Structure formats: C-alpha cells, structure tokens
Amino acid sequence: MTQTERKPSTHTGGCHCGAVRFEADLDLGNPVGACNCTLCTKRGVLGAIVKPAELRVLAGEENLGDYSWGPKTAHFLFCKTCGIHVFGRGHLVELGGAYASVNVTCIDDIDPATLEVVYFDGRHDNWQAGVRDTPWPVHA
C-alpha cells in the first residue's frame, strides 16, 4: 500500500439522476477502500473515509434514503429516485470516531481504473486489521 501525504482538494459528485449532489474534500491519489461485507459485496462500492465536515450535501438532502442493518452503527444513504448509494455516515473507533464514507465512484468524471484500491475485512468486523492490498475472503 502506498501511503501518500494527504493533500485533499474539493471534488463534486452526485447520484445518477442528479437529484443528490455533494462535495467532498478528498485526495484521490490516496487508496480507496473496498470491503467484503454483505452490503459492499452486493453494491461494489469504493469508499473514501473523511471527517463528517469534509462531506457537504449541496442538493437533494430530502431525497436521501437511509439504510442500515445489523448493529446499525453506519447509515448508508442513497438517492430515492435512482437508487445510487452516494455516501455513508457512521461512528467506528477504529476509523477515528465519527466519519463519512464517500462513494468515490459517484465523483464527477471519475475513472475507477485510475484508483488504487485497498481492502477491508468488514465481513468479519475485522476493522482493527486495517487494510491490505488484496481482497479478504468472504468465507473464512
């Protein structure tokens, strides 16, 4: 994993239909996270963890649906019109407390092929293990 110095800049993004718009302070040169949990496996999201203040909803707050499951420590927000998951909000000690997770595939004009991906073992709540360069197994 390449650990680069954090130099965030403001990126805009949104859902597919355009109802939900946001901006986030991110350095897209840093690795983005994929996760093997039951939800992330199905939705194929790539996440960037930011502080809550580094993610700002510009439009469509009222059009956001809120999904959470299990211990309900995290909220996964999606556009009620087009169904696209745009970002999540939660609290996890291992991630430094309150956080937001931006779905970087929703950043305007993003090319996922340019992103470095690292992997979380969310399936086993193995957050203390951090990330690694290859996917964690689902069935372990």
Please answer whether residues 15 and 106 qualify as being in contact, where contact means their C-beta atoms are separated by less than 8 angstroms.
yes
Distance from C-alpha of 116 to C-alpha of 57, rounded to nearest angstrom: 25
Structure-token pair, residue 137: 């197994």
3-state class (DSSP) for residue 107: strand
In order, the DSSP letters of 59-100 are: E-GGGEEEE--TT--EEEEEETTT--EEEEEEEEGGGTEEEE
Helices and strands, counts by H and E, the chain: 1, 10
By the rule CB under 5 A, 15 interacts with Zn ion: yes
Stretch that binds Zn ion, among 3-11, 16-24, 69-77, 94-102 (CB under 5 A): 16-24
28, 50, 57, 82: which one binds Zn ion (CB under 5 A): 82
Stretch that binds Zn ion, among 18-26, 33-41, 90-98, 132-140 (CB under 5 A): 18-26
By the rule CB under 5 A, 35 interacts with Zn ion: no
Least Å from the CB of residue 63 to Zn ion? 7
12, 41, 68, 81: which one binds Zn ion (CB under 5 A): 81
48, 79, 86, 104: which one binds Zn ion (CB under 5 A): 79
| Interface residues toward Zn ion, by CB under 5 A | 15, 17, 19, 79, 81-82
